[in-house]
């Protein structure tokens, strides 16, 4: 049993050089990346790099049309593996590349998937290596994931939409398309998703759906309390931990609403984001959603006080050397109030608090859990995590404390979500 001081030292210790366990990224996944003909092939280069960076082993297979847009040499260099382009490739001992490659894969990812290639797939055509592999893959064990890319008119055409519906009915996972400027000069739906969006979709695909059916409400980031139109009081919270939790909860199958203070982080895919600035706005947004939520995770660093009066015009120096007299009023304690009303209504809302401390983490977190009236409180050392991509957490409940050692915020978020999911089943 660690003493309080030892436990805190462990948590504060910043050991970025330590080998981090691989969890919920693509470590060890064997992915066949299939390229079909389209200008979005240029994005497949970045995708290949991102997949390799996420820990996947990537085997590239290209159609003849894809090789018109990007060379196998480029894809070989990026994947670190020779590229396959023909079913007659004599490198395979049994000359059955379509069988061998599809049996070794954890998934076939076709990116970009052209309109023509999707039309071929629905008919089970197999006149070149990539379509042959799609048909020959073991249906139950090797998922087929498609990232379509085409001109907006081609994407909107009833034939394409019919083919997408048929592919889904046949068990393929068809990712959405992006919206915006297209290589042809037009603007609309049909761009291939960006590399990081596709990697995110794959990570979500392999995350167990422990929170399916749950609606998770999360607060994240700092709040900003205006003194006048150009000045205010805020804190160093970056919002990264709360955003990572939102992403992990979405990957775990939850419907997620993220109430975000003023941060410029990108919104995790398929997460509903409500931007707020002040604690009062955050409180209002949370109250509007809490009634329909089943889990509330208060990760935001909410300002405890706000200026009693926010000046309508900028407060000017008058040259006398006098400083303005500021007075403060206390902000509502959002977490405590939501937890109290959940208890009063005997509802199912499971509330999780955070504690950002600078010292005495276990003692402060234990006291804070009781004060807020929540079953679980997550302690962390603010100064050693604000703005960083890693953190260390101390999970405090009625039974005691459990440490989640220093790791990336994304991986910690997944561990926290797993922990919450196991508590929900007993809640």
Options 8-16, 354-362, 387-395, 409-417: segment touching ligand CTP (CB under 6 A) = 354-362
What letters, b where the CB count within 10 A reaches 16 and e where it falls short, cover 3-18? eeeebbeebbeeeeee
H-state helical runs in 240-357: 240-251, 279-290, 334-344
Active site residue 48: no
Query: CB-based contacts of 185: which residues, under 8 Å, 6+ apart?
Result: none
Options 168-176, 189-197, 207-215, 297-305: segment touching ligand CTP (CB under 6 A) = 297-305
Least gap, CB of 332 to ligand CTP (angstroms): 6
Give the residue, chosen from 50, 131, 331, 380, that forms a contact with ligand CTP under the rule CB under 6 A: 331
CA-CA distance, 268 to 216, in Å (whole number)? 14
CB 33 within 8 A of CB 79: yes
Give the residue, chosen from 117, 155, 224, 354, that forms a contact with ligand CTP under the rule CB under 6 A: 354
Q: From residue 76 to residue 105, what is the string marking binding to ligand CTP with x (rule CB under 6 A)? A: ------------------------------
**Strand segments (E) across 21-161:** 30-35, 57-62, 107-113, 144-148
Give the residue, chosen from 304, 360, 397, 403, that forms a contact with ligand CTP under the rule CB under 6 A: 304
CA-CA distance, 231 to 240, in Å (whole number)? 24
Structure tokens at 151: 């001109």
| 11 vs 144, beta carbon nearer ligand CTP | 11
| 162 vs 343, beta carbon nearer ligand CTP | 343
Least gap, CB of 409 to ligand CTP (angstroms): 16
Query: CB-based contacts of 77: which residues, under 8 Å, 6+ apart?
Result: none
Give the residue, chosen from 356, 362, 404, 416, that forms a contact with ligand CTP under the rule CB under 6 A: 356
Q: Does 334 bind ligand CTP (CB under 6 A)?
A: yes
Q: Does 164 bind ligand CTP (CB under 6 A)?
A: no
Q: Which of 206, 190, 123 is nearest to 163 (CA)?
A: 123
Query: Which DSSP category does 226 fall into?
Result: E
Binding-site size for ligand CTP (CB under 6 A) equals 17
Least gap, CB of 222 to ligand CTP (angstroms): 10
CB 417 within 8 A of CB 242: no
Options 85-93, 199-207, 351-359, 388-396: segment touching ligand CTP (CB under 6 A) = 351-359
Site for ligand CTP in 360-379 (CB under 6 A): 368, 372
Options 9-17, 56-64, 108-116, 293-301: segment touching ligand CTP (CB under 6 A) = 293-301
Q: Does 353 bind ligand CTP (CB under 6 A)?
A: yes
CA-CA distance, 104 to 32, in Å (whole number)? 9
Q: From residue 215 to residue 244, what is the string marking binding to ligand CTP with x (rule CB under 6 A)? A: ----x-------------------------
Residue 179 sits at φ, ψ, to 5 deg, of -125, 140
For 181, the 3-state DSSP assignment is strand
H-state helical runs in 146-239: 152-156, 158-169, 195-205
Q: Does 196 bind ligand CTP (CB under 6 A)?
A: no
- Of the residues 41, 48, 134, 184, only one is catalytic, namely 184
Q: Does 300 bind ligand CTP (CB under 6 A)?
A: yes
Q: Does 355 bind ligand CTP (CB under 6 A)?
A: yes
Least gap, CB of 347 to ligand CTP (angstroms): 18
CA-CA distance, 255 to 417, in Å (whole number)? 13
CA-CA distance, 147 to 191, in Å (whole number)? 9
Degrees, nearest 5: CA angle 15-8-233: 90
Q: Which of 296, 278, 280 is nearest to 375 (CA)?
A: 296
Place of tokens 């959940």: 342
Least gap, CB of 30 to ligand CTP (angstroms): 41
| 120 vs 368, beta carbon nearer ligand CTP | 368
User: Catalytic residue numbers?
Assistant: 184
Q: Which residues bind ligand CTP (CB under 6 A)?
A: 219, 279, 298, 300-302, 304, 331, 333-335, 353-356, 368, 372
């Amino acid at each position: 049993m660690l003493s309080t001081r030892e436990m805190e030292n462990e948590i504060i210790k910043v050991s970025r050089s330590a080998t981090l366990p691989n969890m919920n990224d693509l470590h060890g996944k064997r992915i066949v990346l299939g390229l079909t003909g389209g200008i979005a092939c240029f994005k497949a280069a970045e995708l290949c790099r991102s997949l390799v960076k996420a820990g996947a082993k990537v085997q590239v297979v290209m159609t003849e049309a894809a090789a018109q847009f990007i060379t196998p040499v480029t894809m070989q260099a990026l994947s670190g593996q020779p590229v396959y382009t023909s079913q007659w490739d004599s490198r395979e001992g049994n000359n059955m590349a379509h069988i061998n490659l599809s049996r070794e894969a954890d998934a076939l990812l076709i990116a970009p998937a052209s309109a023509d290639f999707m039309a071929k797939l629905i008919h089970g055509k197999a006149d070149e290596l990539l379509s042959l592999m799609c048909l020959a893959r073991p249906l139950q064990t090797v998922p087929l994931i498609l990232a379509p890319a085409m001109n907006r008119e081609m994407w909107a055409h009833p034939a394409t939409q019919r083919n997408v519906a048929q592919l889904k009915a046949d068990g393929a996972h068809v990712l959405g398309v992006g919206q915006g400027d297209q290589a042809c000069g037009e603007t609309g739906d049909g761009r291939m998703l960006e590399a990081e969006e596709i990697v995110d979709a794959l990570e979500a695909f392999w995350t167990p759906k422990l929170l399916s059916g749950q609606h998770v409400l999360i607060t994240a980031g700092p709040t900003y309390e205006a003194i006048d139109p150009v000045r205010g009081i805020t804190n160093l919270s970056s919002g990264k931990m709360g955003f990572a939790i939102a992403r992990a909860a979405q990957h775990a199958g939850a419907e997620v609403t993220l109430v975000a203070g003023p941060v410029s982080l990108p919104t995790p895919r398929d997460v509903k984001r409500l931007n707020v600035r002040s604690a009062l706005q955050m409180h209002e947004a949370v109250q509007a959603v809490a009634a329909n939520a089943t889990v509330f995770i208060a990760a935001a660093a909410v300002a405890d006080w706000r200026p009693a009066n926010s000046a309508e015009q900028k407060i000017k120096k008058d040259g006398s050397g006098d400083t303005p007299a500021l007075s403060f009023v206390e902000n509502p304690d959002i977490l405590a109030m939501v937890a109290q009303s959940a208890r009063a209504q005997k509802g199912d809302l499971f509330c999780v608090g955070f504690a950002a401390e600078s010292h005495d983490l276990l003692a402060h977190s234990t006291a804070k859990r009781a004060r807020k009236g929540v079953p679980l409180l997550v302690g962390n050392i603010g100064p050693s995590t604000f703005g960083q991509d890693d953190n260390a957490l101390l999970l405090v409940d009625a039974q005691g404390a459990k440490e989640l050692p220093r790791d990336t915020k994304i991986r910690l978020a997944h561990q926290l979500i797993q922990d919450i999911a196991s508590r929900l089943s007993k809640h």
